[in-house]
Homo-oligomer: A and B are copies of this chain.
Amino acid sequence: MRYTTPTAGGQPSLQVLLWRRALDPHVGRWSLPGGRLRPDEDVETSIRRQLAEKVDIKQLTHVEQLAVFSDPHRVPGPRVVATAFLGLVPSDVDPEVPEDTAWHPVDELPRTAFDHEAIVLRARDRLRAKLSYTNVGFALAPREFTISALRDHYSAALGYRVSATNLQRVLSRRGLLVATGSTAPSGRAGGRPAALYSFAHDDMQVTDPFAVFKPPARTTGARARTRAPRRDAVT
């Protein structure tokens, strides 16, 4: 998935790369890229290979397992067990994709093959949840960005307007933003030039580990960064 401003008009949005099926079953419908697992690779290696080979996506900033889809009738014929992944591509790279593939807004999916719509929605929901309590945002944004550009990414992915002001503060408090020192030129309408930031880390980390039930705070003195002990990502 990816945050994209489509060339042909339309709103910028969170989009997913789909592949138009040339063969039956479900000719003409759109499906997720993927393929068979080879005996000598694990599932993550496999999905990275498939994306690189078939759709030339090599710059995945984040990949994570979603779930196994195994309904005996999810595809016609002999049962196929699929391990679904969420993969993110930053908004500034525009991979060359084959003729028969295209990016589609996740909120206006075309007719999809098999259970792929359910899979895409599951991925979208996972991304939404993680934007809240992890730093996955880094995987959608370019290396350097302005806060308002980042705001647009978050807004598109979450599906509601996010305030740049508060986004700034939350990410700063969590120590995720690094000011690069430079600024972006202001637009033709004028306006104060925006400062450029980058993310402090380029791998996913849980930044808001405990919603509740924090373990007892053992900070006797010194208000110095009493972050709760690092907790494993939820998947």
Q: Could you list which residues of chain A lie within 8 angstroms of chain B, going by C-beta atoms?
A: 37, 39-43, 65-68, 70-72, 78-79, 81, 83, 122, 125-126, 128-133, 154, 158, 160-162, 167, 170, 208-213, 215-216, 231-232, 234-235
Across-interface contacts of A66 in B (CB, < 8 A)? 235
Minimum CB–CB distance from A223 to chain B (whole Å) comes to: 21
A213 touches B126 (CB 8 A): no
Minimum CB–CB distance from A40 to chain B (whole Å) comes to: 5
B235 touches A234 (CB 8 A): yes
Residues A211 and B213 in contact in the complex (CB < 8 Å), given A67-B65, A130-B234: no
Minimum CB–CB distance from A91 to chain B (whole Å) comes to: 19
B42 touches A235 (CB 8 A): no
B132 touches A212 (CB 8 A): yes
Which interface residue of A37, A162, A170, A213 has the most chain B CB atoms within 10 A? A213
Inter-chain CA distance A41–B68, complex, in Å, is 13
A170 touches B130 (CB 8 A): no
Which interface residue of A83, A212, A216 has the most chain B CB atoms within 10 A? A212
A216 touches B67 (CB 8 A): no
Across-interface contacts of A83 in B (CB, < 8 A)? 68, 70
A129 touches B39 (CB 8 A): no
Residues A129 and B232 in contact in the complex (CB < 8 Å), given A213-B162, A215-B160: yes
Residues A129 and B234 in contact in the complex (CB < 8 Å), given A208-B212, A216-B160: yes
Minimum CB–CB distance from A81 to chain B (whole Å) comes to: 7
Instruction: Give 14 A-B pairs besides A40-B79, A128-B232, A158-B215 with Cβ atoms closer than 8 angstroms.
Output: A42-B71, A65-B67, A66-B235, A68-B68, A68-B83, A122-B232, A125-B231, A125-B232, A126-B232, A126-B235, A129-B231, A129-B234, A133-B212, A162-B213
